[in-house]
Amino acid sequence: MNAIIIASLGAIILMLTNLFFRKRSKLLSVFALLVVILLIVFNTLEGQGLLFFYPASLNSAFFQFSNFTYLFNNVLILTFLIYILLNKNYLLLINPDHSADIYALLFFVMTGCFLLTSYNNLLSLFLGIEIMTIPLYVLAGMDKKNQKSNEASLKYFLLGAFSTCILLMGITLLYGATGSFALNPFNTLNTTKLLGQVGMLFIFFALLFKVGVAPFHFWVPDVYDGTPNVFTAFMATIVKVVVIIALLNFINALTPNCIGKSYKTIVLFVIISTLAIGNFSALSQPNVKRMMAYSSIAQAGFMLLALYALNDLATQGILIYAIVYSLSTLTIFAILNKFSLATFSDFNGLAKSQPLMACFLTVALLSLTGIPLTGGFFAKYYMLSATFFSGGKYALPLVIICLIFAGISAVYYLKVIQAMYFTTPPVTSDHASITIQPLATLEKSILLLVVIAILFLGIFPSIVTQWLYF
């Protein structure tokens, strides 16, 4: 609860800041970091039972807080902290006149995220989704003069608004079937009520759209590609992960009775088509950023395995997956920031010119591939074993298919590694074509910590999951 309040207050203050302190852009980052630290402190304290702003019982009609919520909020906040530290210079560069607005919008998105991790009511779900996405539409178009950014923004907006309509229709139909917006009365909902079923499915589809999985993934590549790098990093990590958690909460709130028997078949189809589309499209992308867009679709497919498995192992798995995926993706995007153009050939010989950068990128990519001793291995391992243990006769084929696609994903991730280590940089006559900025010291140290965290999770994955039970 404190997280929601602090994040929204921070956002409002930052929004007003732009009126008075237009030129003091250095202070902005400091203030933003301060708010983030407050968020961590208050969220952790609240998790320990110390409340400040919300005296009454926490689990109200609108919100429900559990260990998982607090843990996940902390994960989000830490990811956000890393995100800001890695990107703060670039956040100021995108649109110098509106840097305070950018921070304000980011904090609004975070508010929406916190709503989504703790909602207990369809109204808070709806508000969370909207508070999260409307600022994102703006952020996508923040690079006003760039036509690609404009296009990404407009596409994101139109498609997003359409999916909001689907979500609302779903909520309304569920309301019509149950007479309440709360998540719990769904127990009374059974498979015979046509309206309720359609409503539930509509909400499900709308959330799948926000995650960006097939067949609702079409916005992802275009929007990720057109959006300025810094915001793509934000959308591909925090936002994506949060929506999956929201989706998981939504499905968990439904009893097996009202989920219906063909739920798993649909999820199965969604996962397989997502993996196929994400991986196959990523294979032949010349541009690393767009490759990352497709790879994030594929990774979302892996995360959706939690929706298939729906057991404790899946909950732990999604937590690890979210952390590892976010950290790896943030690392990759932080390095992509340094490139003016990011085709595969731009990475040629990076290991020679920027060994540290190449090393960080390698760990992140290996982690996304799922190589042991990186966190990505355990992330995938948890998800796959969750699926495997969930039973059902499609579990084993699904695991096999996922493993095959994980193998395919190795091809395009390794292509980058190969370019960095195994090709010599082209002998250019000092063209402007290769403009790779070096990493700043702060970025270096943050990335080093991130990489260590990724490797650490590859050795001690149970450390994180144990927090779930404290």
Partner 1 sequence: MQIQYYLYLSFILFGIGALGVMIRRNAIIVFMCIEMMLNSVNLLLVAFSKVQYALNAQGIDGQIFVFFVMVVAAAEVTVGLAIIVMCYRNTRSIDIGLMNRIKN
Partner 2 sequence: MQALLLMLVPLLPLIGFLYLGISRTRIGYTTASIVACGTVLIAFIISLFLFFTINFQDNTPLIISYFPFIHIGNINIDFSLQYDALSAVFLLIITGVGFLIHVYSTVYMHEEPTPQFAKYFSFLNLFVFSMLLLILGANFLILFIGWEGVGLCSYLLIGFWYAKTAYNEAANKAFIMNRVGDLSFLLAIFWLLLKLGTISFVAISPTMLSSTDVLGITLLLLLGATGKSAQIPLLSWLPDAMAGPTPVSALIHAATMVTAGVYMITRNHVLFSAAPFTMNLIACIGLLTAIYAAVLALVQNDIKKVLAYSTISQLGYMFLGLGVYSYTGAVFHVITHAFFKALLFLGAGSIILSLHHEQNIQNMGGLKKKLPITHICFLLACLAISGIPPFSGFFSKDEILNATYSFNPYYWVVGVIGAGLTAFYMFRLYMLVFSGSYRGNQEGIKEKGWVICLPLVLLAVLSTFGGWLNTPSILMGNERLAGFLYSVLGKKDSTVIDALHPINQEYMLMAISTIVAISSMILAMFIYSKPGQAIAKRDTWQKIVENKWGMKNFYQRTVQIPMTLLSFLLAQIIEKKFLEGMVRSVINASSFLSRKIRMMQNGQVNRYIIYMVLGIVLFLLFWFLDIRIYNSFV
145 makes contact with partner 2 (CB under 8 A): no
For residue 444, the surrounding DSSP H or E stretch is helix 441-459
Cα atoms in the 13 Å half-sphere on the side-chain side of 440: 10
Residue 110 token pair: 């975070």
DSSP code, position 287: B
Residue with tokens 């237009």: 22
Rounded Cα distance, 129 and 382, in Å? 28
Pick one of partner 1, partner 2, none as the site partner of residue 181 (Cβ within 5 to 8 A by kind).
Answer: partner 1
The answer to the question of residue 169 lying near partner 2 (CB under 8 A) is no
- Residue 128 Cβ vs partner 2, minimum distance, rounded to whole Å: 22
Residue choice 25, 44, 66, 180 for contact with partner 1 (CB under 8 A)? 180
175, 381, 394, 456: which one contacts partner 1 (CB under 8 A)? 175
Is residue 127 a contact point for partner 1 (CB under 8 A)?
yes
Helix (H, G, I), strand (E, B) or coil at 119: strand
Binding residue for partner 2, selected from 61, 222, 287, 449, defined by CB under 8 A:
222
Per-residue contact flags (x/-) with partner 1 for residues 210 to 229, judged by CB under 8 A: -----------xx--xx---
How far apart are the C-alpha atoms of 296 and 279, rounded to whole Å? 9
Backbone angles phi, psi at 53, to 5 degrees: -105, 0
- Position among 400, 440, 442, 452 found at the interface with partner 2 (CB under 8 A): 400
- How many residues form the binding site for partner 2 (CB under 8 A)? 73
Residues of this chain, 224-253, that bind partner 1 according to CB under 8 A? 225-226
Interface with partner 2 includes 453 (CB under 8 A)?
A: no
Binding site partner of 169, from partner 1, partner 2, none, Cβ cut-off 5-8 A by kind: partner 1
Query: Binding partner 2 by CB under 8 A: which of 78, 182, 408, 449?
Result: 408
Token pair listed for 20: 């008075």
Long-range interactions of 351-354: CB distance < 8 A, separation 24+? 351/420, 351/421, 352/424, 352/425, 353/425, 353/436, 354/436, 354/438, 354/439
Q: Which stretch binds partner 2 (CB under 8 A): 28-36, 331-339, 365-373, 435-443?
A: 365-373
- Please report how close the Cβ of residue 42 comes to partner 2 at its closest, in angstroms: 30
CB 233 within 8 A of CB 333: yes
Q: Tell me if 106 sits within 8 A of 115, measured CB to CB.
A: no
- Give the interface with partner 1 as residue ranges (CB under 8 A): 123, 126-127, 130, 134, 137-138, 141, 144-145, 147-148, 150-155, 157-158, 161-162, 164-165, 168-169, 171-173, 175-176, 179-181, 221-222, 225-226
